[in-house]
């Protein structure tokens, strides 16, 4: 009887309690597999090669979600079997950009730190699908009536809090667009400058250099600083007050890590890839494949490269953003660059510890992106150091 009781308890409680050695072996095997994935990807190379990009992972299916093929496999299959030419030099203009109108469909979040190209992606989504998009910006997450008949909903949440309101109560799918924060922060600054000029944030004006430096180094404390929403810069004198950049890099990291670690159905894309002549058509085709998995959205994959060219490269009337006449590259102090470098390194170390998380695949992809940003940062740090010699 005692043996029967023990057997039942093992089945009801868990295999973990009865067979710890088996669990331990499984955990070790999982970690070894993850380390092999890291070695295989060779993160020291920041390679935008087309073949590698098509095989990247963009979504993770977890238990309880609808049975979807991950977008990388789907797109790779379609590109191979349907012979979709994504070579920019061979792309024709034989496509129609649809006029966006409200239509019944399943909406998708478009999440990004401000200045990362969300309006550009919204314009691309409307041109591809012919369905209207919308945005909630910094005003929390959407309510039901806000997303009716919209294909995509822009949000910059979470920003000043790690607790996201409403989470994914109404929207189950999301796209995360990443941009190097050293470029995204000046873009955000430009947008705020435009608003002071009553230009309603049109993304067409670069703020004067003096405005950028004042924005970057702003020391006036606000609610974000009061609540501890900032990165402590160990390279600055301890008696110096915090700067705005300390908060902004914290906000960038918080947003990225939230969506990477909490949203099950996620597609990841970078600003750098979508505007790149070689990778842009491929990324847009992958984006279309992901959008087509939403109920009510039907976009021909063959149209993606052509529409990308018209909206992104040729800057058609449908595109909402194009800032011209950049007169300078926004500078940073050495202390600020070293602080951002530390943030990148901490994020890399955190994502490397995959363990049994259901999001290991996207962690691998984020690692590659962060390694690339860190490599670019190292060049800038060396340049600033040489200037001070």
The residue ranking higher by pLDDT, 296 or 89, is 296
- Mean pLDDT comparison of 154-168, 212-226, 357-371, highest-scoring range: 357-371
Going 122 to 127 to 129 to 130, the CA torsion angle's sign is: positive
* Mean pLDDT over each residue of the chain, to the nearest integer: 75
pLDDT digits (tens, 9 = 90+) for 112-132: 999 999 999 999 999 999 999
**What pLDDT is recorded for position 64?**
28
Q: What is the pLDDT of residue 351?
A: 86
pTM for this one?
Answer: 0.76
Given pLDDT bands bounded at 50, 70 and 90, which one contains residue 237? confident
Question: Hey, what domains does the chain have and what are their CATH numbers?
Answer: 108-203+249-329 (3.40.50.300), 332-388 (no CATH)
- How sure is the predictor about 74, in pLDDT bands with cuts at 50, 70 and 90? very low
pLDDT at 355: 59
Q: What's the confidence (pLDDT) of residue 239?
A: 72
pLDDT, tens only, 192-234:
898 877 666 567 788 999 999 999 999 866 777 777 788 888 8
Q: Tell me, what's the pLDDT at 137?
A: 56
Cβ neighbours of residue 357 closer than 8 Å, sequence gap 6 or more:
261, 363
What pLDDT score does 197 carry? 73
């Amino acid at each position: 009887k005692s043996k029967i009781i023990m057997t039942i308890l093992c089945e009801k409680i868990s295999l973990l309690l009865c067979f710890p050695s088996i669990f331990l072996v499984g955990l070790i095997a999982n970690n070894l597999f993850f380390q092999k994935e890291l070695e295989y990807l060779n993160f020291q190379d920041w390679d935008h090669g087309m073949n590698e990009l098509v095989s990247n992972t963009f979504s993770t299916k977890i238990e309880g979600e609808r049975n979807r093929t991950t977008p990388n496999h789907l797109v790779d299959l379609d590109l191979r079997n349907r012979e979709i030419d994504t070579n920019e030099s061979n792309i024709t203009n034989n496509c129609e950009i649809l006029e966006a109108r409200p239509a019944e469909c399943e909406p998708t979040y478009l999440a990004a730190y401000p200045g990362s190209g969300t309006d550009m992606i919204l314009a691309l989504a409307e041109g591809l699908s012919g369905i209207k998009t919308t945005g909630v910006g910094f005003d929390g997450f959407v309510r039901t009536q806000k997303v009716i008949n919209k294909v995509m909903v822009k949000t910059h949440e979470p920003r000043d809090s790690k607790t996201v309101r409403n989470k994914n109560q109404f929207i189950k799918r999301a796209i995360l667009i990443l941009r190097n924060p050293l470029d995204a922060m000046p873009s955000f600054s430009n947008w705020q400058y435009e608003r002071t000029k009553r230009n309603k944030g049109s993304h067409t004006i670069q703020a004067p250099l003096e405005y950028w430096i004042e924005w970057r180094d702003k020391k006036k404390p606000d609610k974000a600083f009061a609540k501890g929403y900032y990165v402590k810069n160990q390279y600055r004198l301890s008696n110096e007050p915090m700067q705005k950049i300390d908060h902004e890099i914290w906000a960038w990291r918080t947003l990225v890590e939230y969506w990477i670690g909490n949203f099950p159905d996620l597609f990841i894309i970078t600003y750098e890839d979508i505007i790149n002549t070689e990778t842009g058509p491929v990324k847009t085709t992958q984006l279309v494949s992901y959008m087509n998995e939403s109920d009510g959205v039907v976009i021909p994959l063959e149209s993606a490269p052509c529409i990308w060219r018209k909206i992104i490269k040729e800057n058609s009337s449908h595109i909402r953003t194009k800032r011209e006449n950049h007169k300078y590259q926004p500078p940073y102090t050495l202390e600020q660059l070293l602080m951002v470098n530390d943030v990148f390194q901490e994020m890399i170390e955190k994502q490397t510890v995959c363990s049994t998380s259901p999001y290991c695949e996207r962690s691998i992809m984020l690692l590659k992106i962060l390694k690339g940003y860190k490599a670019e940062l190292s060049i800038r740090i060396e340049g600033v150091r040489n200037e001070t010699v």
